[in-house]
Amino acid sequence: MLSPAAGTASWPALREELQIHAAGANRDGSPAWHICDPVRNLFFRIGWLEFEILQRWRLADPQRIAREVADATTLAPAPDDVDDLQAFLARHQLLRAVRQKAPMPAWRWLLNNYLFVRIPLVRPAHWLERLLPWVRWLFTRWFAGLSALAAFTGLVLAARQWDTVEANLRGALSWDGVLGFAGALIVSKLLHELGHALVSTRHGVRVGHMGVALLVMWPMAYTDTGESWKLARSRHRFAIASAGIASELVLAAWSTLLWAFLPDSDLRNALFFLATTAWVLTLLVNASPFMRFDGYYMLADAIDFPGLHERAGQQARRFLRRWLLGLDDPLPETLSVGFRRFLIAFAFATWIYRLVLFVGIAVVVYHAFFKALGVFMFFVEIGVFVGRPVVAELRVWMRRRAEIPRRRKAGWLLALAAAALVLWLPWHAGITAPGVIKAGAEQPVYSPFAARVTALDLADGLNIESGRELMILDAPNQAEERDKARALAHAYTRAARGALGLDEGPAAQLAVAEQQASRWDAERRAREAELLRLKLVASMPGEVRDVDPLVGPGTWVAPSQLIAMVVDGRRWRVEVLVPERDRQRLSLGSTATVIVKGRTRKLQGQVRAIDNSPVKRLPHMLLARDHGGPIALNPTRPKAELRPAEAWFRVLVEGESETSLAAVGEVKVHFEGTRESLARNWIDNALSVVIQQSGF
């Protein structure tokens, strides 16, 4: 008889409904078992030591259990091993005496589960068993070989018709294309889930239910294959996990082959949608091992390592704690060095992938609601799925801070102090902004009115001095009007003189003659002044550019026709665009460094003007992102308006250079503004974005 040990009355008992099934062997060859919780449809994999301890659980004493296991087997457990197993069973609610968890509040359940909600619709176990005999040929080797041949042939034929494929892809951007892809997606995903269900039934695994899952409120089909853990062979579990991808690849293979041979029709378009949807989404989404999609279960079953994410995460957290904090934790489990390194690398890749994915989902959630709610949901998404795991690990570090070696603490304190100095000291003064450079002084050469060229002394690249004659024009109409005004003025003058010689000449006749004579004389002087404008001279020294090649002696030019440009390229000016935050840090007269594309030598200038209101139109199209520039245009306005999407302020920089500038070009300008810390800059930018996007 076994005498009860001290504390037997408080020893927790196992739940009666729990079941234990053999699970084959672990990677090291040791036997494994599964603890099945039929109430919650969960299973937990245990090893030989845990199995032997559970067989002696009735002894109700860690020391006696450990001694009995050591006497009956080659294992050498310690009482702490029994305590660890008891804590594991209590944590997962496998003990009868464990106090049940309090119900989770609805708001907390929604935060944890709104990304993925399952809605069961059917229980298909019965009709799957009846359907299986009719589709056994799908699992034969000859069908797999034919499908592989169909895939290869279809892809080769599609590659030879690549122009048709591109045309179909461009056509898919229409509403008909979107509807076609949506229909193809529904069909391919239904076949995907049917593949899981049929292979599960083929291996004796009951499919509990099938239904619709809401992934970020996006509906998608799912199949419950949770009982596949009962299969002792990992290759059978791998077959179930890969059945969905295999089904879509078979669909893609035969659809591609048939598309290559069929004439243009609605059926051919449908096959194109099926093929592209199955190829792309299957390989990009379902095959990923970093989320709990098919690729994850396939990898876990291929290497026979259940709980891959959790166990890899344990290895990676131990590695981080040892590398960063110097904590020498025991190994979570005994593994080879190479496989442990693989798990650590896999865990880091999973974390990076999930960070990118969750940030992307947060952006989608933000755009799915109005601004204020979208910003709130964005931070909820980041906080729950990105921030919470990080905070949990930091809490472990804080709880174990006494175990960290002093040298490691000192090193991290120095690193944190250096980071604080870098972030909070106001040493950051540089401002970099895009701009467009132009000549500082330009004289466009236009005809004052429609005229004919009589003499032209212009050529591209010609250096001229101020006051040099550029060209002479002739305007016959203006000369005729001048001659007409001269003749009339002379005639009226003679008439007025003749009226003075009459003894009885009326005073009114004299006044009219003098008035008309004065008027036409003014007209003559105006016409002569206009004719003087036909002699075009340079108002400044510079270089002649952009001479119209069609203009020559004898040709007519219109007043709106640009004949040439006289440019003083040594003097230049830059129109720079800066955001509001940087505008406040600039001052008139400050130095600016201009970097011109294609020139190795920098230009030095000074700030001459700073606008107080944002620009409504970009100074030049070179700054627009649609033309290769850095600034995005407002998508709600016509692109020809060149209206920026955000608030940019114009800063005018002027200077002189030793060599002449060739033409208008895009530049980068560096300013020395008021010093500020990096942390303040980041915080202000973040608050500005939040306020702007929330609509407050």
> Where along the chain do its domains lie?
8-91, 106-304, 307-404, 432-436+568-684, 442-557
Q: Alpha-carbon distance 474 to 479, whole Å? A: 8
Q: What does the pLDDT look like over 427-451, one tens digit per residue?
A: 666 788 899 888 777 778 888 778 8
* pLDDT (average), residues 492-507: 58
Q: 104 in helix, strand or coil?
A: coil
Residue 60 has which token pair? Answer: 């109700």
Q: 594 in helix, strand or coil?
A: strand
In the predicted model, is pLDDT for residue 503 greater than 50? no
- Is the separation of the CB atoms in 254 and 150 below 8 Å? yes
69 or 547, which is more confident: 69
The answer for residues whose C-beta is within 8 angstroms of residue 372's C-beta and 6 or more apart is 694, 695, 696
* pLDDT (average), residues 384-400: 85
Q: What does the pLDDT look like over 623-650, one tens digit per residue?
A: 888 888 888 888 888 888 888 888 889 9
Bridge partners (DSSP) of residue 600 are: none
Q: What does the pLDDT look like over 195-235, one tens digit per residue?
A: 889 998 988 888 888 888 776 566 778 888 877 777 777 78
In the predicted model, is pLDDT for residue 562 greater than 60? yes
Which residue type does 605 have? G
pLDDT at res. 4: 41
In the predicted model, is pLDDT for residue 12 greater than 70? yes
Q: What does the pLDDT look like over 240-285, one tens digit per residue?
A: 888 888 888 888 888 888 888 888 777 777 778 778 777 776 777 7
The answer for residues whose C-beta is within 8 angstroms of residue 329's C-beta and 6 or more apart is 318, 321, 322
C-alpha distances (whole Å) from 278 to each of 161, 273, 431, 476 are: 19, 8, 49, 77
Which residue type does 8 have? T
b/e per residue, 639-661, with b = 16+ CB within 10 A?
eeebbbeeebbbbbbebebeebb
Which residue type does 607 have? V
pLDDT band at 3 (very low <50, low <70, confident <90, very high): very low
In the predicted model, is pLDDT for residue 500 greater than 60? no
CATH number of 432-436+568-684: 2.40.30.170
* pLDDT (average), residues 13-36: 83
Mean pLDDT of the chain: 79
C-alpha distances (whole Å) from 78 to each of 82, 570, 582, 685 are: 7, 87, 66, 57
pLDDT at res. 151: 87
pLDDT band at 5 (very low <50, low <70, confident <90, very high): very low
Q: Alpha-carbon distance 544 to 470, whole Å? A: 10
Q: Which of 637, 654, 653 is nearest to 645 (CA)?
A: 637
DSSP line for 543-571: EEE---TT--TT-EE-TT---EEEEEEEE
Q: Which of 623, 640, 641 is nearest to 632 (CA)?
A: 623
Q: Which of 188, 166, 168, 186 is nearest to 177 (CA)?
A: 168
Q: What does the pLDDT look like over 281-323, one tens digit per residue?
A: 677 777 888 888 888 888 888 888 888 888 899 999 999 988 8
DSSP state letter for 41? T
pLDDT at res. 528: 64
539 or 196, which is more confident: 196
- Is the separation of the CB atoms in 82 and 66 below 8 Å? yes
Q: Alpha-carbon distance 505 to 517, whole Å? A: 18
539 membership: H or E segment, kind and range: none
Long-range contacts (CB closer than 8 Å, 24 or more residues apart) made by 68-74:
73/48
pLDDT band at 684 (very low <50, low <70, confident <90, very high): low
pLDDT at res. 347: 93
Q: What does the pLDDT look like over 573-621, one tens digit per residue?
A: 888 998 877 887 888 888 888 888 777 778 888 888 988 888 888 888 8
Helices (H) and strands (E) in the chain, counts: 20, 18
For the CA atoms of 334, 336, 341, 346, what is the dihedral angle to 10 degrees?
-70
Bridge partners (DSSP) of residue 222 are: 211
- Is the separation of the CB atoms in 552 and 453 below 8 Å? yes
Q: Report residue 328 CA to chain centroid gap.
A: 39
Give the phi and the psi of residue 357 in degrees, each rounded to 5: -65, -45
Which residue type does 343 have? L
In the predicted model, is pLDDT for residue 693 greater than 90? no
In the predicted model, is pLDDT for residue 79 greater than 80? yes
In the predicted model, is pLDDT for residue 504 greater than 60? no
* pLDDT (average), residues 92-118: 64
- Is the separation of the CB atoms in 408 and 399 below 8 Å? no
Tell me which of 26-30, 565-569, 692-696 is least confident: 692-696
* pLDDT (average), residues 178-183: 70
Q: Which of 220, 214, 222 is nearest to 193 (CA)?
A: 222
The length of the chain in residues reads 696
Q: 396 in helix, strand or coil?
A: helix
> Helical H runs in 172-330?
175-202, 234-261, 266-281, 294-302, 308-320
Number of neighbouring beta carbons within 10 Å of residue 272: 26
82 or 29, which is more confident: 82
* pLDDT (average), residues 665-693: 72
C-alpha distances (whole Å) from 612 to each of 45, 251, 548 are: 68, 62, 39
